[in-house]
Amino acid sequence: MPVEIKPYPLEFTVAFTAYFILCIVLGIWAERRTTSLKEFFVMGGTAGSVAMGLSYMATQYSMSTFMGVPGYVYAIGWAGLAISCVNAGLGLMVPGLLVGRKVLSLGRKLGFLTMTDYLAHRYHSNLLRGIIALLTLIYIVPYMGAQCIGAGVIVNTFTGAPYWVGVLFMAGLVTVYSALGGVRGVVWTDILQAIMMMFTAVVLCAAAVSYAGGFEKINAWLLQNRPGALSMPGEPWKTMTYPYYASQVLLWTFFTIGQPQLFTRFLFLKNQRALARAMIWGGIGFFISSFFVYIAGLSAAPVFKLSTAELDWVNPLIASYALPPIVGSVMMSGLMAAGMSTIDSTLIVTTGAVSRDIYQQILRPNASDSSVLALSRVAAVVIGAVAFIFALMRPALIFTIILFVFGGMGVLVPAIVLGLYWKRATREGALASVIIGEIVLIFLTSPPAELKPAVASILMGGHPLLLSSLIALIVMVVVSYATKPTPREILSQYFPE
C-alpha cells in the first residue's frame, strides 16, 4: 500500500483543541504557585513518587519513541524491540540508584537548581559552568526541534495543513505553559501526557496488529519477505548487532545521567522514599509506552510500503487507516503529548542555562531572584522560537537527532559520577574530560571520509559515545592525579568524615 494520507481535519482539530486548552489551564494554575526560582526550576523540591516517575518517563520518552523508533523497528524487525524491556526495568533504576539518592540529598543541602549548579560547585569552576551551559544550548535546542518535527508531520497528516502549522502549534503551546508555570506546570502536564502516551501505545498496537491480520500473518509475511527481521541483527539495515545493542542499552539507562532534563528530576523529589517508589511508576510507564508502540511499528510492515525517508510516518498511518477518525485523532494527540512532555522539560533546562547558569552565576552574581525569574520567562519564549526555526529546517530524521543529543550530553557522565564517588576528582580533570570527550565524540560521529572504515572497525557497531566517554574517563583520572586536590572545604560537603 503506498503512503496516502487520509486527513481528518475536524476530528483532529477538536481533539487537539481540547488537549490544548487543558494544558494551558494547568499552566495558568501552576503560574499562581510559581513565585520563586526554586519553584520555577525544581518545583520547590516537593514532588512525590507518581509525579516524579511519570514525569521522568514522559521526559525521556519523546516523539522519537512514538515516531522515530517505531519506524526503525518497522525497518529492521523484531530485533528493534530488544532494548525496550531492558529499559523498562533499568531506565530509572540505574540513574536513580547511582546518582539520584546523592543528588537528592546534596540538592537539599546546597540549594542546587540545575545540573550545572552541581558540577560548578563540586569542581569550584565557573569556566566549567559556562562550558556546560553552552553545551546545553548546543545540544538541547535541536532536541526540542526534533519534537516539533513530529508535530509538523502529525498536523500535516491529519488536517492537510502545511507542515509549519504543526511546528508552530507545538512550539507555541509548550512555550506558553512552561513560561507561565515553570517546572510545576511541566510536571503536571507531564502526568497528563504520560497517561496519554501509555493509552496511545496500547491502542495503536492493538489497531496495527488487527489491521495486519494478527501476529501469525505478520510473522508469516516477515518469514517470506524479510526472514532476517525475525532475529538479530535485523534487516535490511542489520544494525542491531550485539555491540550496538549493548551500546543502546547503556545509552538509554546509564548515560541518561548526563541529560540535564532528567538529572534535574532528582532535585524535584521531597524525600528518598519517593525516589524508591518513583522507580516503580517510571518502570511501568517505560514498559507500556515503548513495548506496545514498537510492536505497532513492526506490525505495519506487511501493509505499508515506506521508504527510508518516510519511516517517521508509520504510526500516523496506522491511526489514519486502522482507527475511526475521532479515535485516530485522539491517538495523534497522544503522539503530540510525547513531544510536548520532552520539549517542556528541555525548555526549562535551556532557560536555566541562560538565566541561572550564565546570567546570574557568571555575568550578574548579584542579580535578584525576581529579575532572574523574569528573564527566565523571556528566555523561554526566545528559545522556543529558535526550536521552531530548527524544526522548519528539518535537518534529519527524528531518531538521528535524538541519538546526536544523547551522545553530546552523555560525555558529561564521567565528571558527574566521579564527582559524587571519587575524592581525588579535580576541576582540571573535569574540564579536560568534558572538552576532550566532546572533541573525540564529534570526530567519531563524523570522521573524514578516508578514516570512516577504520573508525567503523574500532566502534564495532557501537555508539560513538561509548569510546568517547571511556577516553573522557581516562583523561579525567590522569589529569586529576596530575593536579592539586579539590579544597577540603568543598570535599567535606560531598564526603563528610
Q: What is the rounded (10 degree) CA torsion for 78, 401, 205, 243?
A: 20
What's the pTM?
0.86
**How far is Cα 398 from Cα 25, in angstroms, rounded to an integer?**
29
Place of cell 573524514: 448
Q: What is the pLDDT of residue 473?
A: 97
All domains of the chain in start order, with CATH: 9-397 (1.20.1730.10), 411-497 (no CATH)
Tell me the three cell numbers of residue 197: 502516551
Indicate the pLDDT class of residue 476, thresholds 50, 70 and 90.
very high
Closest of 317, 19, 12, 17 to residue 161, by C-alpha: 12
Place of cell 507555541: 172
Question: How buried is 473 (Cβ within 10 angstroms: 0-12 exposed, 13-18 middle, 19+ buried)?
Answer: middle
Q: What is the pLDDT of residue 26?
A: 80
Q: Which segment, 227-241, 314-328, 473-487, is predicted with the most confidence on average?
A: 473-487
Q: What are the tens digits of pLDDT across the range 389-420? A: 888 887 766 667 777 777 889 999 999 999 99
Ranking 41-50, 373-382, 435-444 by mean pLDDT, the lowest is: 41-50
Alpha helix stretches (DSSP H) within 264-397: 265-268, 272-299, 314-322, 325-352, 369-393
Q: What is the identity of the amino acid at 247?
A: S
Q: What is the pLDDT of residue 418?
A: 97
Indicate the pLDDT class of residue 179, thresholds 50, 70 and 90.
confident
Q: Is the pLDDT of residue 433 over 60?
A: yes
Q: Mean pLDDT, to the nearest integer, of 274-298?
A: 92
Q: What are the tens digits of pLDDT across the range 327-369? A: 988 888 887 887 787 788 888 888 888 888 888 888 888 888 8
Beta bridge partners of 439: none
Neighbours of 392 (CB within 10 A): 16
Q: Is the pLDDT of residue 3 over 70?
A: no
Contacts of 427 (CB under 8 A, 6+ apart): 123, 124, 125, 128, 483, 486
Contacts of 326 (CB under 8 A, 6+ apart): 8, 11, 14, 15
